[in-house]
Amino acid sequence: METGNMNSSSTPNKSKSHLPLQEKLIQRRNSKENLDRFIPNRSAMDFDYANYMLTGKENPCTSSSPSREAYRKQLAETFNMNRTRILAFKNKPPTPVEAIPSDFSSAAQQVKSAKPRRHIPQTSERTLDAPDIMDDYYLNLLDWGSSNVLSIALGHTVYLWDASDGATSELVTIDDECGPVTSVKWAPDGRHIAVGINNSEVQLWDSTSNRLLRTLKGGHRSRVGAMDWNNHILTTGGMDGQIFNNDVRVRSHIVETYTGHEQEVCGLKWSASGQQLASGGNDNVLQIWDRSMAASNAPTQWLHRLEEHTAAVKALAWCPFQSNLLASGGGAGDRCIKFWNTHTGSCLNSVDTGSQVCSLLWNKNERELLSSHGFTHNQLTLWKYPSVVKMAELTGHTSRVLYMAQSPDGCTVASAAGDETLRFWNVFGTPEVAKPAPKTKSEPFAHLNRIR
């Protein structure tokens, strides 16, 4: 069993004076500062001549020279240059290096044409304050929508941070008797957002108008810590071990039930095709569900029940370049990232990361996987796939990195930790061709205003 809430209290600290999502003032120093400023070799310069050209006066130290004209002539012969150049160098330029032999020309062209190695910054490019964030392994409090707006739950309040201009706004604050907020998840349209609450309810909000559209209730019996969307279907997982498919367009919103977990559901992810659902729980079980097998009148049977992890399974990520490949991460008692063929249920590979696995994200542009960790190093680790060779470790957080979210373009990753900071990492580089954001459709939510 994982260590859940590390906060002393689930009630937000009202005494904090600093505002949330404000950039931390961290003075950065460029280690290469001033290295590109050219400092000439003073020994190669004749300051006597320079003084004369600038002032018209001879250096007193040279007043004992035989003749002023002879002195000037000697200087002119020595420098052999136009007097319009005030500071001149005595040293001769180095002899040109012999041209590269033709035997190496083809090899040089091959090196030049080879793809340059991507630079992976080891430090975060931006750090924001995230006071009162819940240090709870089982929750999912951070998400980045397709409209480039990041949502984060801090205690009882959900904040929205617009990545395009850095503007912060408050979406909702949940009453003390109902909160805190236990999960947030953007709908595919980037406008609507689901907010899971400690009292077992789920609120659906329109972020554009800051309007509550409806509240889903009557399904879960305890807090809702995991959610994911599949078009107009919102899938929710709770501490009661239940998983529900909620059709947000209809009054009786629960349309399918997935029963199989014996403890809290802390991880939920739909595949890109929307045909398979992966769920992870505090019972150390990973389950794969097939949409075609979903039953409306009876609990749906899982397609695969995978019990190889030896701790809670929260971190789940479907591969963007292979539809049936799923990565899963185990908690502090397991520490492993496992790769699965979800068609057959077989484990393709397993790597011991050495620390609690909290979250997983695939690179959309390269065959790479990013993991975030808790005990004991609190780092982010970039892995090459399929070799699972460690490419980089990103450090900066001082507490376990429980939550990660990826920008719509796939390049930037936001991470939030128990140290009450939100950090941004340019870890996945820049895509060769920037793909425009898909046009959103309001159709899946067209009936919400009619529901009472």
pLDDT digits (tens, 9 = 90+) for 163-214: 999 999 999 999 999 999 999 999 999 999 999 999 999 999 999 999 999 9
The Cα 253–Cα 203 span in angstroms is 13
pLDDT at 70: 66
Strand blocks (E) in 259-407: 265-270, 276-281, 286-290, 304-306, 313-318, 325-330, 336-341, 346-352, 357-362, 368-373, 380-384, 389-394, 403-406
Output the pLDDT for position 385: 97
Q: State phi, psi for 207 to the nearest 5 degrees.
A: -70, -20
What confidence score (pLDDT) does residue 67 get? 57
Q: Looking at residue 7, what is its pLDDT?
A: 52
- Which of helix, strand or coil describes residue 214? strand
Which of 86-100, 330-344, 425-439 has the least mean pLDDT?
86-100
For the cut 80, the answer to whether the pLDDT of residue 333 exceeds it is yes
pLDDT (tens digit per residue) in 417-431: 999 999 999 999 876
Quick check: 297 pLDDT over 80? no
Check residue 100 and report its DSSP letter.
Answer: P
pLDDT confidence of residue 109? 52
- The more confident residue out of 28 and 235 is 235
Distance separating alpha carbons of residues 190 and 195, to the nearest angstrom: 14
Domain boundary assignment for the chain: 41-92, 126-431+438-450
In whole numbers, what is the pLDDT of the chain averaged over residues?
A: 82
More confident residue, 96 or 353: 353
Output the pLDDT for position 73: 67
pLDDT at 375: 80
- Give yes or no for a cis peptide into 180 (omega within 30° of 0): yes
Six token digits for residue 184: 């947030």
Q: Which pTM value belongs to this model? A: 0.76
Long-range pairs for 88-97: beta carbons < 8 A, 24 or more residues apart: 88/45, 88/46, 88/49, 88/50, 89/40, 89/41, 89/44, 89/45, 90/44, 90/45, 90/46, 91/41, 91/44
Contacts with 1 (C-beta within 8 Å, 6 or more apart), sequence order: 282, 311, 312
Q: Has residue 48 got a pLDDT over 60?
A: no
Average pLDDT over residues 50-69: 51
C-alpha 169/C-alpha 172 separation (Å) is 9
3-class DSSP assignment, residue 109: helix
CATH code 3.40.50.360 for 126-431+438-450: no
What is the pLDDT, as a whole number, of residue 445?
Answer: 58
DSSP character at residue 136: B
Task: For residue 404, report the phi and psi dihedrals to the nearest 5 degrees.
Answer: -135, 150
CA 418 – CA 135 distance, rounded (Å): 5
DSSP for residue 71: H
* Distance, C-alpha 195 to centroid of its chain: 21
DSSP-based three-state secondary structure for 343: coil
What is the predicted pLDDT for the residue at 430? Answer: 76
**Model pLDDT for residues 378-403, shown as the tens digit of each residue:** 999 999 999 999 999 999 999 999 99
* CA separation, residue 402 to residues 60, 135, 200, 414 (Å): 74, 8, 22, 11
Residue environment code for 370-393, b if the CB has 16+ CB neighbours within 10 A, otherwise e: bbbbbbebbbbbbbebeeeeebbe
DSSP 115: P
- Would you state the structure tokens that stand for residue 40, as one six-digit string? 């000439």
Tell me how far the alpha carbon of residue 350 is from its chain's centroid. Answer: 23
Give the ranges where 59-126 is alpha helix by DSSP (H). 68-79, 105-113
Give the per-residue pLDDT at 179. 96
**C-alpha dist (Å) from residue 287 to 45, 387, 441:** 77, 25, 31
